[in-house]
Chain A
């Protein structure tokens, strides 16, 4: 079972957190801090698995993570999951994000936190894997999108606001970095 999915950036700022087992809010924050502490000090070419931190269940739990440009994707899982399988799952999730957002970057996750949640819900439900087929996941997301459009009511205006915000926050032009198969823009964000 997947106990929690944590996405945070290189500075430990959480970008998405999802717990599938109940933890009180302050405990959730501690887990995020501990996990960041464990993961961030590791080199990029070491292995992607490490023994779980002390907070989230002890020795039966592992942290399985991938580091993409500015973001860490960490899955806390128990021993019933295949390590390499979860690595693939992270890749599927990120590739799906990339398809849905077209070259996903950290900013997409910040400004569309709700959307990221909805995409994740098509992959993982209650800590178990719902679907691994990327085309199927994207089809579901597109279906949601159409329903959202059909309900209308939202003008295109905010879109301009978003792009304005994105530009005004970037001290330099985002560059593209090739990681594996997907392009992730790496905005050099000032930590906040």
Chain B
């Protein structure tokens, strides 16, 4: 006999539904519905009071109309009347209507709350359940205010029926989720936790959801639930399949509850109590063992239930990450599932393995399945499963298998589903960069990426390849050659044109020797794509053209012809027009020297975290990444944008920009901080005047102190020169030396193993300095370590004037001494001779390196040999100030790594010392000890 008596329906409702079903068209259906809505409205508004049956019927019709997708904005009042009735059937439909069509009208909620209050105190379990259902489904703040105090009482009261307890537990959970401040567990905590011991499995089922949620929020208060959960789980797992009767599902005892218990345990670390832990490990082993037993039923429900528990057990094992034995068993079990004929199991196995891959105990074990996973990526028919396979490949990738995995992902991209292509592209780009040993492989990979899935290659990806090519001169020639070849394809993606334009504009000269890629061939190739491209790409190409004029003077007339054509110089797009006009002018009036300075090769980009990573995190949903990181990503994107579009023409455009404001000022890179400052010194003499203004220049101060007779030989270094040197360890600019006659200012810039120093000699007197000369020498072995070239300086310095000298420095290998600067001049006939140490220290050649905490400490640990490590404990001279320390450390030239050291008091830094002979990675840790004001410095070098 069916439990639902189909006969007791409502005739009017059935007729209405079949009317709707007989409608031949959508229009007819809408017409019929509107007719019915009008009818119901008039009935509800009518003078005649409706009986309960009619109200029920109409409310039911409204629910049906709502289901069909029509808005229902009335009937709530009738529903409230129904749920306030004493008749069960009326109450039931009234509550249902309110739960489905939630309405936040406060007057209505007040009426509903009244009815709920009555039902909760009715002691009729069915009515109580209906009321609790309504609260749980609506869950509004008003309801929480009204009932949050009452429901815990119902939940733990001894005389509450089991079914009511179940409802009360979930009702409380809902209120806790919506208004945690109103649900005060305090005194109820222990009794709620003990519901895990309840006789009735249904009560445990409902209560465990509540306890899990509460434990996540207040782990300490609820931690007694761990031992209770373990003993409950143990009883279920070890029971025979007949013990739990009704809760045995296809021969599996209480699968749902087992899963939930295992989930609850994942809120906590492994139990500390040995006995509890032993019991839990036993349970987990039993679950793993049962998975190997022959199935008790062939039905899919049986294996589903069994495996649901198994997967939760594996999740718990991965969460603990402390039992290598269990981890390996889990990995083997998942390995079996990878080839299971059930698609669901393959999907879940790939998903679980993804988390397993990040555990150090099992990473290697996961890697053994690489062929199976690659096969899954190629052959699975289901896009969900393929997506999981791609995720797992990404997770298991390391240096040993990167080439294989990247190749497989690339070949998969050609046929991949559109929905996952963008994510795949980001992942390939990240892996290629992360594990590139050989950067020509990296360039090939990214160009392939653009070729195969150009539409899905986001800006971040192609910005990044340009950054890397610019920063690594060993790959520039290769990149130019490869991109030149790629551009020869008859149809190539616009992103390829962008990368090609940029790279050939910078490094086209590296392949110009080959007649097949002569300057004119390169230009014609680029220009053949020009008209098919969007405005930003054309703008970039114009910048590439002006760079060509600098690189290859022989292309000048051809390019000027192009720039002069109406389609450029009169282009309706203001940005293109402006570039064409300015570049044309620049190329015709500037001398070769100026052109060479303005259009010099781009300086290296500062090292930073790949913005692609940020992009991937963003794609993975806001849950995975903090707002900070997102902002970071956005900011970097912006800077890169500036850098990418600028194409080295910053000075040219920056100057003209004042007279003709460009609508896209950000294209000019004006707001890009680091790239511009890095570019400034490379602009050389153009900017020197600007610098000289900054030099300190006092009014003539006549020195009356006649200097003693000085020999013509270079004087020994001044006694204070070491101290002077120390002043400049952490800064690059300032006053190096000053006496009554002379002031020497210094400005210096370093990049990679090269440095350029500007010395400003200021005559503080009103009398000329004559036969002014300077020499820079490298004493002893420094000669072979440092290559220093100074340009000659004017022999005459007028009183009150300043002259400037440029010194180029190349670091060949590591060094510890400083070069000497000897200055000789005659002041009023007397020879002045003094020698200073030039503040060139090894740390100037630091390139900051960002790395994550994990990487940092892994490397730190690797540097264990005595000669790789130096530690010094010293007393701080000044009071410790975090900001000052930070500034000092940044001045040192390394990257200051935030959130890397577990102790926030400590500072850690990383950098690479760039010398011509080698690159030396260095890590630094500063541990301030406040009490003793000792500052131990750890420094490790590899």
Q: A: which residues have CB within 8 A of B? A: 14-18, 20, 22, 25-26, 29, 32, 42-43, 45-51, 58-60, 80, 82-85, 87-89, 91-92, 99-102, 108, 110-115, 117-119, 121, 125-136, 138, 140-145, 147-149, 151, 153-154, 156-159, 161-162, 165, 168-169, 180-181, 192
| Docked complex Cα distance between A159 and B10 (Å) | 8
**B10 pairs with A158, CB closer than 8 A:** yes
Name 9 A/B residue pairs within 8 A (Cβ), A-sorted.
A80-B212, A84-B305, A87-B304, A88-B255, A100-B4, A112-B9, A126-B139, A144-B126, A154-B10
**A22 pairs with B11, CB closer than 8 A:** no
B709 at the interface (CB under 8 A from A): no
**B14 pairs with A165, CB closer than 8 A:** yes
Q: B340-348, B640-648, B869-877: which one contacts chain A? A: B340-348
**B620 pairs with A59, CB closer than 8 A:** yes
| Docked complex Cα distance between A16 and B22 (Å) | 20
Q: How far is the CB of A5 from chain B (nearest CB, A)?
A: 12
Hey, what's the 0/1 contact readout for B76-107 against A, CB within 8 Å counting as 1? 00000000000111001100100010100000
Nearest-CB residue, chain B, relative to A135? B246
| Docked complex Cα distance between A138 and B246 (Å) | 12
**A88 pairs with B202, CB closer than 8 A:** no
Q: Which residues of B contact A138 (CB under 8 A)?
A: 3
Nearest-CB residue, chain B, relative to A160? B7
B2 at the interface (CB under 8 A from A): yes
B174 at the interface (CB under 8 A from A): yes
**B14 pairs with A111, CB closer than 8 A:** yes
| Docked complex Cα distance between A79 and B637 (Å) | 31
Q: How far is the CB of A93 from chain B (nearest CB, A)?
A: 12
Given contacts A59-B620, A165-B14, contact A151 B88 (CB under 8 A): yes
**A113 pairs with B170, CB closer than 8 A:** no
**A133 pairs with B93, CB closer than 8 A:** no
| Docked complex Cα distance between A58 and B305 (Å) | 27
Q: Out of B22, B348, B623, which one reaches A84, CB within 8 Å?
A: B348
**A82 pairs with B311, CB closer than 8 A:** yes
Q: Out of A60, A85, A92, A117, which one reaches B623, CB within 8 Å?
A: A60
Q: How far is the CB of A172 from chain B (nearest CB, A)?
A: 16
Q: Which residues of A contact B92 (CB under 8 A)?
A: 118, 144
Given contacts A114-B96, A125-B170, A141-B4, contact A169 B21 (CB under 8 A): yes
**A99 pairs with B344, CB closer than 8 A:** no
**A131 pairs with B166, CB closer than 8 A:** yes
| Docked complex Cα distance between A125 and B311 (Å) | 25
Nearest-CB residue, chain A, relative to B24? A192
**B2 pairs with A100, CB closer than 8 A:** yes
Q: Out of B69, B173, B307, B311, which one reaches A126, CB within 8 Å?
A: B173
**A125 pairs with B249, CB closer than 8 A:** no
| Docked complex Cα distance between A108 and B381 (Å) | 35
B751 at the interface (CB under 8 A from A): no
Q: Which residues of A contact B13 (CB under 8 A)?
A: 111
Q: Which residues of A contact B688 (CB under 8 A)?
A: none
Q: Out of A22, A26, A158, which one reaches B14, CB within 8 Å?
A: A158
| Docked complex Cα distance between A1 and B406 (Å) | 37
Q: Which residues of B contact A119 (CB under 8 A)?
A: 4
- B contact face: mostly helix, strand, loop, or mixed: helix
Q: A47-B384, A102-B2, A161-B15 are in contact. List 9 more A-B contacts (CB 8 A).
A: A25-B71, A46-B385, A51-B384, A101-B2, A101-B4, A130-B166, A130-B205, A148-B88, A153-B53
Q: Which of B172-202 contact A (CB under 8 A)?
A: 173-174, 201-202
B163 at the interface (CB under 8 A from A): yes
B395 at the interface (CB under 8 A from A): no
**A151 pairs with B87, CB closer than 8 A:** yes
**B14 pairs with A128, CB closer than 8 A:** no
B167 at the interface (CB under 8 A from A): yes
Q: How far is the CB of A146 from chain B (nearest CB, A)?
A: 10
**B256 pairs with A100, CB closer than 8 A:** no
Q: B60-68, B519-527, B772-780: which one contacts chain A? A: B60-68
**B67 pairs with A132, CB closer than 8 A:** no
| Docked complex Cα distance between A101 and B2 (Å) | 5
B23 at the interface (CB under 8 A from A): yes
Q: Which residues of B contact A114 (CB under 8 A)?
A: 60, 63, 93, 96
Q: Which of B1-36 contact A (CB under 8 A)?
A: 1-11, 13-15, 17-18, 20-23, 29
Nearest-CB residue, chain A, relative to B21? A192
| Docked complex Cα distance between A149 and B217 (Å) | 45
Q: Out of A84, A136, A154, which one reaches B308, CB within 8 Å?
A: A84
Q: Out of B4, B163, B624, which one reaches A140, CB within 8 Å?
A: B163
Chain B interface residue number, banded = 35 or more
| Docked complex Cα distance between A14 and B67 (Å) | 7
Hey, what's the 0/1 contact readout for B368-389 against A, CB within 8 Å counting as 1? 0000000000000110110100
**B256 pairs with A129, CB closer than 8 A:** yes
**A133 pairs with B246, CB closer than 8 A:** yes
Q: Which residues of A contact B300 (CB under 8 A)?
A: 180
Nearest-CB residue, chain A, relative to B71? A25
Q: Out of A29, A87, A141, A149, which one reaches B8, CB within 8 Å?
A: A149
**A49 pairs with B384, CB closer than 8 A:** yes
**B4 pairs with A91, CB closer than 8 A:** no
B878 at the interface (CB under 8 A from A): no
Q: How far is the CB of B161 from chain A (nearest CB, A)?
A: 11
**A129 pairs with B304, CB closer than 8 A:** no
Q: Out of B163, B167, B301, which one reaches A91, CB within 8 Å?
A: B301
Nearest-CB residue, chain B, relative to A118? B92
Q: Which residues of B contact A159 (CB under 8 A)?
A: 6-9
- Which A-B residue pairs are the 9 nearest by beta carbons? A159-B7, A126-B136, A84-B308, A46-B382, A158-B11, A59-B621, A47-B343, A102-B2, A100-B3
| Docked complex Cα distance between A152 and B133 (Å) | 25
Q: Which residues of B contact A128 (CB under 8 A)?
A: 170, 173-174, 206, 209
Q: Out of A26, A82, A117, A125, which one reaches B167, CB within 8 Å?
A: A125
B597 at the interface (CB under 8 A from A): no
| Docked complex Cα distance between A130 and B136 (Å) | 11
**B126 pairs with A111, CB closer than 8 A:** no
Q: Which residues of A contact B173 (CB under 8 A)?
A: 126, 128
Q: How far is the CB of A127 from chain B (nearest CB, A)?
A: 8
Q: How far is the CB of A164 from chain B (nearest CB, A)?
A: 9
Q: How far is the CB of B361 from chain A (nearest CB, A)?
A: 24
Q: How far is the CB of B200 from chain A (nearest CB, A)?
A: 9
**B67 pairs with A48, CB closer than 8 A:** no
B652 at the interface (CB under 8 A from A): no
B259 at the interface (CB under 8 A from A): yes
Q: Which residues of B contact A102 (CB under 8 A)?
A: 1-2
**B621 pairs with A133, CB closer than 8 A:** no
| Docked complex Cα distance between A116 and B100 (Å) | 13
Given contacts A125-B170, A132-B247, contact A111 B344 (CB under 8 A): no
| Docked complex Cα distance between A88 and B249 (Å) | 9
| Docked complex Cα distance between A126 and B136 (Å) | 5
Nearest-CB residue, chain B, relative to A158? B11
Nearest-CB residue, chain B, relative to A192? B21
B171 at the interface (CB under 8 A from A): yes
| Docked complex Cα distance between A18 and B533 (Å) | 50
Q: Which residues of B contact A157 (CB under 8 A)?
A: 11
**A118 pairs with B96, CB closer than 8 A:** yes
Q: Which residues of B contact A147 (CB under 8 A)?
A: 88-89, 126
| Docked complex Cα distance between A59 and B18 (Å) | 40
Given contacts A131-B205, A132-B205, contact A88 B4 (CB under 8 A): no
Q: Which residues of B contact A100 (CB under 8 A)?
A: 2-4
Q: Which residues of A contact B516 (CB under 8 A)?
A: none
Q: How far is the CB of A3 from chain B (nearest CB, A)?
A: 12
Given contacts A110-B17, A126-B137, contact A145 B3 (CB under 8 A): yes
Hey, what's the 0/1 contact readout for B235-260 against A, CB within 8 Å counting as 1? 00000000000110100000111010
Q: Which of B132-170 contact A (CB under 8 A)?
A: 132-133, 136-137, 139, 163, 166-167, 170
| Docked complex Cα distance between A18 and B205 (Å) | 21
Q: Which residues of B contact A16 (CB under 8 A)?
A: 67
**B344 pairs with A84, CB closer than 8 A:** yes
B399 at the interface (CB under 8 A from A): no
| Docked complex Cα distance between A17 and B100 (Å) | 9
B810 at the interface (CB under 8 A from A): no
